Amino acid sequence: MKRILSACTMAFALAWAAPGLQAQTAPPAPAVAAATAQQFQLANGMTLIVKQDRRAPTAVHMVWLRVGSMDEVDGTSGVAHAVEHMMFKGTEQLKPGEFSRRVAAIGGSENAFTSYDYTGYYQQIPAGRLEEVMRLEADRFAHNRWADEEFTRELAVIKEERRMRTDDAPRARLYEALYAMTYQAAPYRRPIIGWMGDLDSLTADDVRQFYRQWYVPANAAVVIVGDVDVAQVRAQAERIYGAIPAAAVPGRKPREEPAQRGIRRLELKAPAEQSYLAMAFKVPKLTTLEASDDALALTVLSAVLDGYPGARLERALTQGPDRLADSAGASNGLMGRGPQLFVLDGVPAPGKTTEQLEAALREQVARVAREGVSAAELARVKTQWVAGQVYKRDSLFNQARELGSQWATGFAPDLSDRLIERLRQVTAEQVQAVAARYFGDDQLNVAVLRPQPVDPAARKKAPAGARQDPTTEPSR
């Protein structure tokens, strides 16, 4: 299963497109066009982003922190995610769990997520109850309080989450090991949920210190999308969020990844029914739209390989009696606060090996490097990108999440529209050039899952009533 990474990928954008959309088909316009997002800065340094969309009397309210697992230090991995959990455990005014009960009482839903790059909290609510939710969120942002016993109980929940999502999930374990091998200095080498040894020694004061250090207005953005009046929301935000005292954002040390000099490989033996292969190539990321031609071309390349039904990898590797793979995929990390990867992955067909699949996947990229891509392929992936952006606007949540993630990674609210225009300018020659430039041995990290017998009695299920935490993790 593919999950969202901290980076945006072409596959992620295409997930909103209509299945089987043809290149010549123009996407329909929304019934009522959403307004352009507007960004403001409050006096205490907090950012406010508001986008009006009047199609339904609802709103999405989000608070984003430009802090994630990449801001942790060794020995406290998992602390950013632990803070996210503890933000539901009360304030000076609210008892543990009361925040969620109050949101539910007004007909809303809510949750939170942690990634390498950021942490986010959100509520989907009737638009008329927005101010109530703003007050609740501002209260826990500034006044999160809980007893040590609450942390002890929640830490047990986090450990069980790690067991279920990583320790008992072979592909998640594989990607955890792959990231730890791929990154030598970059903080993406640590898992978002934390190493179990670090969780064992994590203390309540570790979590409180991380919260006090990073949960400051200048490191946060409020994102609101829906049936709202921009001027009214701005006034409410100044009154509610603007009252939080200003504080300096801690300095961040650069942790540059050293150049890789040769293939790195690992194998993981785990109970599984099929082998699995993941190949991660280090590639450039989007820095500015004016200076990221290769990152954009790599994004288009990933879509040529695996961006629509019947794309190159599916046609070449997963069809016919002599097929090499049950599945094959490609994705490119376009955006993020840290270094990014281009990933090729797949499951060998019965009787085939991961070594054969690795050679075949690399050959598909090499073929693009030799022969280029056709005008029809290029037109199709670009049209589907545009379609994905249009269909995405049917969801207030997706609009808000895009605005928040763009802010967290250092981009302006108009990035999506500008990105579409830049992607339209990517040429077949640029796609061919990046296929030749970034897929050599020195950029490659390979992880192979070697299946072991599965014990049916060992399968676990989520405990009844557990909060479904959509923590972003590097698994596929």
Distance CA 456, CA 261 (A): 42
DSSP, res 117: S
Cα distances (Å, whole numbers) of residue 254 to 3, 301, 366, 410: 27, 30, 34, 16
Residue given tokens 């007050």 in the structure block? 135
What single-letter amino acid sits at 376? A
**Residue 322 burial class via C-beta count within 10 angstroms: exposed 0-12, middle 13-18, buried 19 and up:** exposed
Distances (CA, A) of 283 to 123, 276, 452: 35, 22, 33
The rounded distance, in Å, linking the Cα atoms of 475 and 465 is: 24
**361 half-sphere exposure, CB direction, 13 A CA radius:** 30
In degrees to the nearest 10, what's the CA dihedral of 138, 139, 143, 147? -130
The string over 291-321, giving b where at least 16 C-beta atoms fall within 10 Å of a residue's C-beta and e elsewhere, is: ebbbbbbbbbbbbbbbbbeebbbbebbbeee
72, 84, 358, 402: which is the annotated catalytic residue?
84
Handedness of CA 334, 336, 341, 343 (dihedral sign): negative
- The answer to whether 314 is a known catalytic residue is no
5 vs 336: CA distance, rounded Å: 9
Q: Are 11 and 185 in contact (CB under 8 A)?
A: no
Phi, psi of 364 (to 5 degrees): -65, -40
Task: Report CA-CA distances (Å) from 104 to 90, 354, 469.
Answer: 16, 48, 17
CB atoms within 10 A of CB 183: 22
SS3 401: helix
Compute CA distances 67 → 6, 81, 117, 118, whole Å. 12, 10, 6, 5
- The two tokens of residue 341 are 């990867």
Q: What is the dihedral of CA 254, 113, 243, 47, to 10 degrees?
A: 60
d(CA 347, CA 373): 25
Say how far apart CA 380 and CA 445 lie, in whole Å.
Answer: 30
Using an 8 Å Cβ cutoff, are 287 and 415 in contact? no
Catalytic residue annotation: 84
